[in-house]
Each structure stands twice: as C-alpha cells, then as structure tokens.
A and B are shown apart, each in its own frame.
Chain A
Amino acid sequence: MPVLSGVDVCRRIAASKDGPLIYRILLTSRTERQDLIEALQQGAHDFQSKPVDPDELRCRLKVGERLIEAEDRAAHYAAEMESLAEERARQLVHADRLASLGTLSAGIAHEINNPVGFISGNAQTQQMMWRDIEPCLRHCLETGYGEPGKLEFILNEMPDSLLGIRSGVERVTEIVSGLKAYVRKEDAGGAREAVDLNACIEDAIKLCHNALKYHVEVSTDLAPDLPHLLACSQQIIQVLVNILGNAADAIGTQNGTIHITSSHAIETATIVIEDSGPGIPPDVLGRLFDPFFTTKPVGKGTGLGLSVSKGIVEAHGGSLKARNGSHGGACFTIELKGGAGV
C-alpha cells in the first residue's frame, strides 16, 4: 500500500459519511499558509504544527470535544424529533380517517332517517290496526271460517312480528342518532343548567337497574359537598349509562361489582367508575373511543357509545379517560371543569 499522507487520511475519513463524528487534527511540520488551507479544504478540522506545544494541543482537543458533544446532542435531538414526527403523522392519519368517517356518517344518517320514519310510522299504524283485525280473525276462527291452522298461526305470530319491526326500527334509530351525535359532537353541548353530578349518578344507576340487578353489586362513594356544575344533565346521564352498560357487559354473567366515586378539587369534579370485569386488553385501549369500534358481537353494540360519550364530555370542556384499575377491571374517569365556581 502506498504511504498515505495525513491529508489523504483526512480526505478519506471525510468522504465516509456514516458513523459518529471523527474530529480530525492534522499534525504537520508544514507551516506554509497554502499547505494548511489545502489540509482544511481536504477534510481536516484543525491542524497542529510540530513540535507540539502541550497547551496548544490540549486546547485544540477541547475544541474537538465540544464539537463532538454538540454533534451527539444534535443527533439525539434529531432522533427524538423524527420519532415525534412519526407519531404525529400517525395521529393525523387517524384523525383524518375519523373525519371522513364523520362526513360519511352524516350523509348516511340523513339518508336513512326518512325511510326509517316510514317504517316506524307504518309499523305503529299496523299495530293499531291489528287491535281491530285480531277480534275479527278470532271471530273467523270461532265460526269456522277459513283454515283454522293458518288463522291460529297468524293470531300467534302477528304481535311478535309487529313488535319485531318496531324493535328493529328502534335499533336503527338508535344507531342513526348515535351517528348524528358523533358527527355533531363539537356542538353537542345541549341545554346547560346547574347539575348535581351525584343525582346524575343515582339516576344512571336507576336507569341501568335492569342490566345490573341480578349479578352486579353497585357501590358508591359520593362526595357529599359536590358543587353543582353547568352541564346538560341528560347528556351526563347518557355518558354514565353508557359506561355502566359496558361495565355490566364486561362483567358478563358472573357476579361482579361496580364502584362509583365522585370527588372534586378547586377547578374540577371527577367521577370514577371501576368494574370488576376482566379489564381492557392493551390492544383495545387505544381504539376504545373510535367510532364503530366494538368488541361486542355483530348486532350487539354499535361501537358508538364511547365515542359519543367522549364527544359529550369534551363538549362540556372535560375529559373521559379509560385505563385498567388496580384490581384489573376497567376504570373510567370523567373529569369536568368548573367545580366550585358554578
């Protein structure tokens, strides 16, 4: 190998882009200005003329050390920024998806509402008509008119059939209104009034009585001096009912407990609802509040309950958060602002 000069080595190191910074000081006995300029142009950071003066070399090494440290910090910072940018990009894609979902939903909700209205109205009319038709059919049956088997079948099945239409329509209405609530969540304020959160909790428990009475024991620990909040009580109850309903579903058919606490600080009132269910799987936690995200079987959940609930709480200037509690069950925290002042 031909002998490499110091300048050659500097050039070769400068040309290799990877890896951490290698600070290059050229030790040289050449002192001609042109030689030194050449060395710096070829990739040396600095030069040290021979014979070496210790204080001078120490200072030159210090300069290099500072540069390397700055470079390290910059690289670290750049890596941090990069991962932050990636995270933000992911969030943006997610938000964009939700926004287009919202636009789509608004369109669907609007289009579906009319035909659902026809079905619902006609089903009610038919139920009313059935009250008149039923005695006629019975009369036919008693007087031996028509096929008795067929008549009996109609008399037995018709009420259920009509009810089936009604409950199906109610379910569609529920989904559509959920969609509308999700789309409009920005102005889902509702009429605000001074609301006693503890009363909302009691009301929500009463409303969920059917789902809870057999296997879930509900206990409360409510702050007695909870100040009233400016809120829409109906919507707050809707949120609570939703969370309680989910808790009941999570507990399933086994016996379980739900514990509700209310508390307040200077600026905020907090409701915590913790159940003894299996908790929220980690992969579900991040998507829990996404519209249409549901872990329930097809036809059981709309996947809108929690996204609407979050929308409602946020429209109230508060926050709704989910985590797993200390006992492993799901734990929802509703935080509402304006604790003491209202």
Chain B
Amino acid sequence: MRVLIADDEPSARLITRKMVESFGYDVIAVEDGGQALKLLLGENPPGSQFWTG
C-alpha cells in the first residue's frame, strides 16, 4: 500500500510524510496537485493508492 502526499507547504509536507512513513506505508510527497495528478493518472502510475492533499 502506497501513499501520495501533496502539500505546498514544505514543513507540513515533511511532517505528514514522516508520520505516514511511521505507520509503515511507502510514501511519495509532491508539492502541488498538478504533480500529484501527473503521478497518479500519467503514463506509468506508480500504483499509489492513497492520496492525501
């Protein structure tokens, strides 16, 4: 199970990332919704199944 986090505020992004990683999920963090969409719906989606943002 993988989690994608999108947050434009770097400190919030980092904190959420560490938090979710501590739950045992693989995490990818991006800084805006455009990047998130590119990753989730692009040619080769990384199979991320959670999205928070």
Docked CA distance A229–B18 (Å): 76
Given A61-B25, A65-B1, A4 contacting B49 (CB threshold 8 A): no
User: Which residue among B5, B47, B53 has the maximum number of chain A CB atoms within 10 Å of its CB?
Assistant: B53
Could you tell me the distance in whole angstroms from the C-beta of B33 to the nearest C-beta in chain A?
3
Docked CA distance A25–B6 (Å): 11
- A48-56, A129-137, A183-191, A307-315: which one contacts chain B? A48-56
Which parts of B25-41 form the interface with A (CB within 8 Å)?
Answer: 25, 32-34, 36-37, 40-41
Docked CA distance A1–B37 (Å): 12
Q: Is A253 close to B, CB under 8 A?
A: no
Which parts of A22-70 form the interface with B (CB within 8 Å)?
Answer: 22-27, 48, 50, 52, 54, 57-58, 61, 64-65, 68
Given A6-B6, A20-B47, A61 contacting B53 (CB threshold 8 A): no
Q: Is A125 close to B, CB under 8 A?
A: no
Q: Is A21 close to B, CB under 8 A?
A: yes
**Tally of contact residues, B, Cβ under 8 A:** 29
Let me know if B23 and A61 touch, CB within 8 A: yes
Q: Inside 8 A of A26's CB, which chain B residues have their CB?
A: 52-53
Docked CA distance A116–B34 (Å): 84
The one of A3, A21, A27 in contact with B49, judged by C-beta atoms closer than 8 angstroms, is A21
Let me know if B52 and A22 touch, CB within 8 A: no
Could you tell me the distance in whole angstroms from the C-beta of B3 to the nearest C-beta in chain A?
7
The one of A22, A23, A57 in contact with B19, judged by C-beta atoms closer than 8 angstroms, is A57
Which residue of chain A is the closest to B51 with respect to CB atoms? A24
Let me know if A57 and B50 touch, CB within 8 A: no
Docked CA distance A26–B19 (Å): 16
Let me know if B16 and A52 touch, CB within 8 A: yes
Let me know if B1 and A13 touch, CB within 8 A: no
Let me know if B51 and A9 touch, CB within 8 A: yes
Q: Inside 8 A of B36's CB, which chain A residues have their CB?
A: 9
Q: Is A156 close to B, CB under 8 A?
A: no
- Could you list some 25 contacts between A and B, CB below 8 A? A1-B34, A3-B8, A6-B6, A9-B33, A9-B53, A20-B47, A21-B49, A22-B40, A22-B48, A22-B49, A22-B51, A23-B49, A23-B50, A24-B50, A24-B51, A24-B52, A26-B52, A27-B52, A52-B16, A54-B22, A57-B16, A57-B20, A61-B50, A65-B1, A68-B1
